Structure 1
Amino acid sequence: MRTMTTSPLELFVQAKNDIGKMVSEVEEYVVDCMSFLIELPKEKGIVTETQVKALNQYKIQIHGIREVLARDNMKVAFFGRTSNGKSTVINAMLHANILPSGIGHTTNCFCQVVGTDSEEAFLLTEESKEKHSVESVSQLAHALCHERLSEKALVEIHWPKKKCPLLRHEVVLVDSPGIDVSTNTDEWIDRHCLDADVFVLVNNSESILMVTEKNFFHKVSSKLSRPNIFILNNRWDAAALDPRSAEVHQQHMEHNRKFLVEELGICNREEADNRIFFVSAKEALYARLQEQGGLPPHTGAIELEGFANRYFEFQDFEKAFAECLSTSAVKTKFEQHVVRGKSIITDIASEMGKIQERAHHEKSKLMMQRQELVSKLDYVSHQLKLITSDEKDQICHTVEDVERKVSMALNEEIRRLHQLVEEFTADFLPNHIVITAYKRNLNAHLDKGLGSNMRARLSDAIASIVDSAKTTMTNRIKELLPEEKQHLVIARRQDHFEMFYRLNCDNLCEDFKEDIEFRFSLGLAALMHRFLGNKQASRLTIFGHSEPVPRPVLLTPGTPSNEFLPPSSDWAFAAKFLTAAVSGQGITGIVAFTTIVGLKLGWKILAAIGSVYGGIYLYERLTYTNKAKERRFKKQYVAHATKKLRLIVDLTSANCSHQVQQELSGKFARLAHLVDDHMDEMREGASQQEAQIKDLDKILESSRIHRNSANYWFNLFSIFERKYLQIDES
């Protein structure tokens, strides 16, 4: 006997493993793509909600494909009339007497034989997941049993794979009740046939195909595109004793070929010849049971003439069946998965391309915006430096102008100081307490008056200068700010600038010492001050002198003293004597002077002069009232204050210019701070844009990797098609 080499069914197992592993990895890839899309920023418009939902659907579909692949197997459905040997054929293929068989109507429901990794066989029903002993199949599925199931029910028989080579290759065999015992065949097809890869029509060789069998497969062909159908003419051992067996064989071939080619149109004549077999399932089962020691040798059932040929025919059927089943199962089970997988991968690659395109567009836009922002930042920074330099110079010029104006105005006010002092009115008494209060009030009046006069002279002019400078710098700074921030410049404008003049006359005139004692205007001291001047008169005083009066140098003995005397003149002598009298101390000099003048001019003239002189003295003495004292006080105060104020002209003008400098510098500093804030915002914006560009680079790189991965998986699916489905896309 012949034995089969490597089974072609291994192609399905290998293909299932390959596509299962591939789909599992593709699912991980889709999940990774899904995570990538979820992490993308929605506000940039790089990814849409539709894309996320679509990818989520792809993930669900790939997961569903993986679950279907885990359950996929090669399914073979056996159909035929009652007692044609369907169960016996399955038992012979499984090398075990598993399904109930015998004469008459035996199989009452659908029996599905699947492989299990368990060492013990068991049985499952649709109503319960409880495992039953495999021996109970003769009760549940046998038509003669009172506890049998309904004809549309399904019983799963899990048979250990190690006991049956066929079940190791993911093959599922389905036995059915006779199609001639029920009219509900449409439901059979819908429940048990739509996922079958191969149909085996088991016919009784003692008769030809009946209408019932043909109608059933016409229905199958109408619901499935080109189903794979094998026709087994079973019980061909009955022809061993018939001398016309060859003619019967030819008759069956013609009828079967016509049914497959012409009536169903599922194959051509050559293919049909390879799908029609004449076998004896009972002989094949007995032979295999005998090979395994399940039957004693020389059993009569396998000793009929032609047994070897029939057994070889059965093995040829198994080989053709395995090749067709494997090829068909790979195509029917995996082709749609591959097509769907390629479609999903193509869609994902397209979506990644869209994301890549949007990210690239967003990056280009951001780079342009950043370049514009950096250029604007450089421009604003450069302009701010220029404006700062210009405004510093302008502030310096303004400060110098203000200092000059203040100095001129203050000098003018100092020259008019006597008018301001004359405007002061208060009770004046030659009393220390009253004079002290008078000086304090006069100082306050002077402070107020000078400040008021200075403001009247300068406030409008200086305020105009300051406001003009502020307006200029504001307008220049405003141009550096965006429109939405320009209102801050207007909001920061201050009120009209007001100058403060701090003269502090109390401190300036603190050392003022008034002299309001009576002084005769024609007194000798007054006359000397008037004629000799203050400096010369200060040397010669009535009550003392700072320099010694020149005296004649003592002559040496024998030298005549008249050589050193001045020329003889009475007036010259009188002048000298007057000088000596004035320089002398006490009343003695005055008496001596009067005596000399009287001798020269005459006593009458002297008396007249003395009367006039005394009258003048008496008049001045009587008119020297508090008002006169006040006038002398104010005159002395004006002289003292003028002297002191002239000392602080430069200081005051510098102080005022410093106020202007502070005002303008502060204003410009506040305006420049707005520009600095704007520049900081631009720098922050540039930094954020740089970070966004880096993020977009990562998105571009990730989308490129995912797109390349999609191409990689697409190529793997294409390789699978060429390897297992014989599809060449070229």
Structure 2
Amino acid sequence: MSGYVTRMEEKAPQMGQGDAGSSGQRSLGNGRQSPSSPLKLFGQAKKTVNDIFKYIAEYIVDVDSFVQEICQSGCIEGIDFQDTIKGFKEKVKGIMEVLGRDHMKVVFFGRTSNGKSTVINAMLREKILPSGIGHTTNCFLQVEGGTDSQEAFLLTEDQPDEQKSIQSIKQLAHALSSVKLESNSLIRIVWPKEKCRLLKEDVVFVDSPGIDVTPDLDIWIDKFCLDADVFVLVSNAESTLMQTEKNFFHKVNERLSKPNLFILQNRWDTSVYEEDVEAVKQQHLERNLEFLVDELGVTDSKEGYERVFFVSAREALVSRLNQDKGTPTPTGTLQDGFQARLFEFANFERKFEECISKSAVKTKFEQHTQRGKKVTGDLRALMDKTFMLSLEQSKSKECERQEKADELDYKQKQLTLLTVEVKDKIKSMVEDVERKVSLALNEEIRRLSLVVDEFDQPFHPDPALLTRYKKELHEHVDNGLGRNVQNKCSAMLKSEVEVTQAEMTERLSALLPEETRQLVINSVPKRDFEIAYRLDCRSLCADFQEDIEFHFSFSITSLMQRFLGRKGARNLILGFSDTVPRPMSMTPQTPVSEQYHAPVTHDGEMVSTILTMFASLTSRTTVGSLVVGGLVAKAAGIKVIGVCLMGYLCLYLYERLTWTNKAKERAFKKQYVDYAGSKLRLIVDLTSSNCSHQVQQELTSTFARLCHHVDMSGEKLSEEIKQLDKEISQLHEVKAKAKVFRNKADWLDKELNSFTEHYLKETVL
């Protein structure tokens, strides 16, 4: 360490009062000129690598279009890297956005009032940033070079497009200003490039508030440090390195791998008042090296000596301001031995420029160059794969097409045979269903009286109550007959339908590809098929009119109706014969009461003849009736006639007294059974036909769905055959394009290798 200080002191007398800057060279104070600035290397490398990545981006766009065409046409199988190419496109786009940054970034950190702003002002050779005693900088200040502007201005985060006067920086950024910005706010100071060599070479300086005034260090790191190329820790030579400063750079080191860090022991001009300056410098140097090498591990011991500098930013700023104005530095402004401190500051700038140039080229370009090589290499492999696939599949497409054509022909023939067979099966089953339902329904109609007798609702002859009674009876008969027919037929018919459906599914699914067979089987609805019989007794018996009035069974009219029939008795009583043919209506309107008695039998022909004669005589005149009565009385005798009349009267009274509600209910149900039975017999054929139609519809729909899947499979095969024809014609074109893209990937890889040889290896040297 003492040797290092001695060398600095030996060089100090050779220096003048400062260093002069020009656009490409620097004066070192003894007449020697430094070589061209190493910062120019960054601009050249940036332009070259941006051009290369522009070619890569255009290449990826062309490859993506090429692959999209292949995927849309489907002429090659195994092209499954569309997303990979899109990922390459996004990756290169991100790289180009990063490469598009037009600066090398250096960030200054340190505790409050350590002189960060003064250091930046000295390096810029202009008093741009506010500085002074105490807490001065309230937020982050970024100094960058303007493009064409000759005037400096400010840009703030809340109004990024509004240019503000450079004079307002004290109001916005000074800690003593009434305008308080957040500590993580950023003010951009756009300074004319022509006024500062460093800004002209695309260097950006970022000044920060003191790291001891806010706990939001993580926010600072995320917002301002992740893209920094060099960090400068400005420490106060009057105190040792504080834990606050160490903690901050430990956090930075965790987020960035080995950041480039310089430590400036500022205000070293106060060392003139120390008795043992060397011991103090040695102490600072050891602690700084321990922090850089042992704690952070960002450098080794040898390089660490070139990362710690003992300077006075105030003296450097004063000297350079007066030198640029061409005026001598005021007496008493600089302390004794200032030449060594000015040289140390210039030495820091030289090391800083070398470091930031190498670091920026390496950190910004080396990793992206490797990523670019990886992208071009992967793209070449993909294009080579496409080329080989086109060669291989061109030989197999014809065989595949022939196989699919044979498969399609087989399916069409089998489907034709199965269609004929299934139609015959459905026809036979429909006829069987119609027969079974007809037999079951006729049997239930014969047992209709049992169903009616099961109806046990209270009966009353009142018309209002009787209407409700008939409504409930209709519903009872409808449910009873439907339930009985369903119990006899549904289970059997359902089983037959399910067996037939399963057979059709099995036969037709055999024509489907293996990968879709189970899917089609599962897609056939597994619903419970139920036959709806739809008897609807309420509509059928809506015209039913009951006759529950008392009728003596041995009256003259009843006897006539019993032996002659209702029609014959009516003709006999009314005195005319209905012999004229009358048109028959579609719906018989004969009252129900006319259907209750059986027709006359042959055994009653004699009685019928007598009654006919008797009725004929009595219907003529009253005198005739008296004559007939006299003859009968004379023949049989008065006593016999009296006894007969008494028995006849007793029989009448018996029937009249036994004509109760129960008897009326029996008569009502008997009439209802006769009427409903006659109506239900009329719809037996219609109901059985309807049930068979339901079975036919169920089986036909199932077969149609299965045929649809087979047809879809056939259509798919036809489309695949057409697609294969199209692919075969496209394979040669794809092969030629893939070869061109493969060769272009080789050319881009060579360009990246050339960039690495020319720039990255030189920066290492």
Cα separation, partners in 2 of 1:90 and 1:41, compared to 1, 3 Å: closer
Question: Which residue type is aligned with residue 313 of structure 1?
Answer: E
Whether the aligned pair in 1 keeps the contact of 2:73 and 2:727 (CA below 8 Å) is: no
Partner SS for 2:54: helix
Structure 2 counterpart of 1:703, one-letter code: A
Tell me if 1:115 matches 2:145. Answer: yes
Confirm or deny that 1:713 pairs with 2:743: no
1:323 pairs with 2:383: no
CA shift, 1:360, in A, is: 1.1
Structure 1 position 165 matched with structure 2 position 197? yes
2:123 maps to 93
Match of 1:312 among 338, 343, 353: 343
| Structure 1 counterpart of 2:211 | 179
The residue type equivalent to 1:704 in the other structure is K
The residue number in structure 1 matching 2:374 is 343
Change (3 A) 1:323 1:148: same
Q: CA deviation at 1:106?
A: 0.5
Cα distance, 1:27–1:93 mapped onto 2, change above 3 Å: same
Amino acid of the residue matched to residue 62 of structure 1?
V
The alignment partner of 2:111 has SS state of: coil
Query: Aligned AA for 1:7?
Result: S
Asked if residue 141 in structure 1 is aligned to residue 173 in structure 2, the reply is: yes
Please show how residues 355-434 of structure 1 align to structure 2 within 5 Å: 355-365=386-396
SS of the aligned residue for 1:200 comes to: strand
Structure 2: stretches of 5+ with no match in the other structure? 1-18, 20-27, 403-722
Distance in 1 (alpha carbons) for counterparts of 2:397 and 2:71: 15
* Corresponding residue to 1:156 among 182, 188, 206: 188
Q: Give the match's secondary structure for 1:50.
A: coil
Which residues of 2 match residues 11-26 of structure 1 at below 5 A? 11-26=41-56
For residue 66 of structure 1, give the secondary structure of its aligned residue in structure 2: helix
Counterpart in 1 of 2:758? Answer: 723
Amino acid at match of 1:712: W
Which of 296, 312, 326 aligns to 1:264? It is 296
- Please say which of residues 315-324 and 178-187 is displaced more in the overlay: 178-187
Q: Distance in 2 between matches of 1:728 and 1:82?
A: 35
| Larger-gyration structure (1/2) | 1
1:701 is matched with 736
Question: How much does 1:277 deviate?
Answer: 0.5
SS in 2 for 1:76: strand
> 1:352 is matched with which residue?
383
Q: What is the CA-CA distance between 1:269 and the residue it aligns to?
A: 0.6
Q: Residue 286 of structure 1 contacts residue 301 of structure 1 at CA under 8 Å; is this kept in 2? A: no
Give the Cα–Cα distance (whole angstroms) in 2 for the partners of residues 362 and 302 of structure 1.
Answer: 85
Structure 2: distance between partners of 1:728 and 1:301: 43
Shift of 1:52: 2.5
SS at match of 2:342: helix
Indicate which of 86, 111, 117 corresponds to 1:56. 86
Q: Does the Cα contact within 8 Å between 1:722 and 1:728 map onto a contact in 2? A: no
1:525-582 superposed Cα distances (whole Å, 9 cap, x missing partner):
xxxxxxxxxxxxxxxxxxxxxxxxxxxxxxxxxxxxxxxxxxxxxxxxxxxxxxxxxx
Q: Specify the code of the residue in structure 2 equivalent to 1:326.
A: S
Q: 1:124 to 1:47 in 2, by over 3 A?
A: farther
Between the aligned partners of 2:131 and 2:185, the Cα distance in structure 1 is: 18
- Please name the residue that 2:240 is paired with: 208
The structural deviation recorded for 1:108 is 0.7
Residues 301, 138 of structure 1: alpha-carbon distance in 2 compared, 3 angstrom cutoff: farther
Partner of 2:220: 188
* Structure 1 residue ranges without an equivalent (≥5): 372-687
Distance 2:391 2:277 in 1: 79
Structure 2 counterparts to residues 281-680 of structure 1, below 5 A? 281-293=313-325, 296-300=327-331, 303-365=334-396
| Offset of residue 218 of structure 1 | 1.4
1:38 to 68, 89, 93: 68
Distance 1:138 1:31, change over 3 A: same
Distance 1:168 1:727, change over 3 A: closer
Query: Aligned residue for 1:415?
Result: none
Q: CA-to-partner distance for each residue in 1:557-616, whole Å, 9 max, x for gaps?
A: xxxxxxxxxxxxxxxxxxxxxxxxxxxxxxxxxxxxxxxxxxxxxxxxxxxxxxxxxxxx
Q: Between Structure 1 and Structure 2, how many residues are aligned?
A: 415
How far residue 11 of structure 1 moved from its aligned partner, in angstroms, is: 1.9
* CA distance in 1: counterparts of 2:41 and 2:332, whole angstroms: 35
CA gap of 1:136–1:210, structure 2 versus 1, over 3 A, is same
Map Cα deviations across residues 10-58 of structure 1 (whole Å, 9 max, x no partner): 2221221111111111111111112222233645442666322322232
Q: Given the superposition, is the C-alpha separation of residues 34 and 164 from structure 1 closer, same or farther in structure 2, using an over 3 Å criterion? A: same
Which segment drifts farther, 94-103 or 719-728?
Answer: 719-728
SS, match of residue 259 in structure 1: helix
Sequence identity of aligned pairs in percent? 49
CA distance in 1, matches of 2:159, 2:304: 42
CA contact (8 A) 1:42 1:48 kept: no
Aligned counterparts of 1:25 and 1:162: Cα–Cα separation in 2: 32
Shift of 1:112: 0.8
Question: What is the letter of the counterpart of residue 355 of structure 1?
Answer: T
Moved more, 223-232 or 298-307: 298-307
Q: Which has the higher contact order (CA 8 A, sep 6+)?
A: 2
Structure 1 residue 722 displacement after superposition: 3.5
Q: Distance in 2 between matches of 1:87 and 1:33?
A: 51
TM-score normalized by structure 1? 0.53
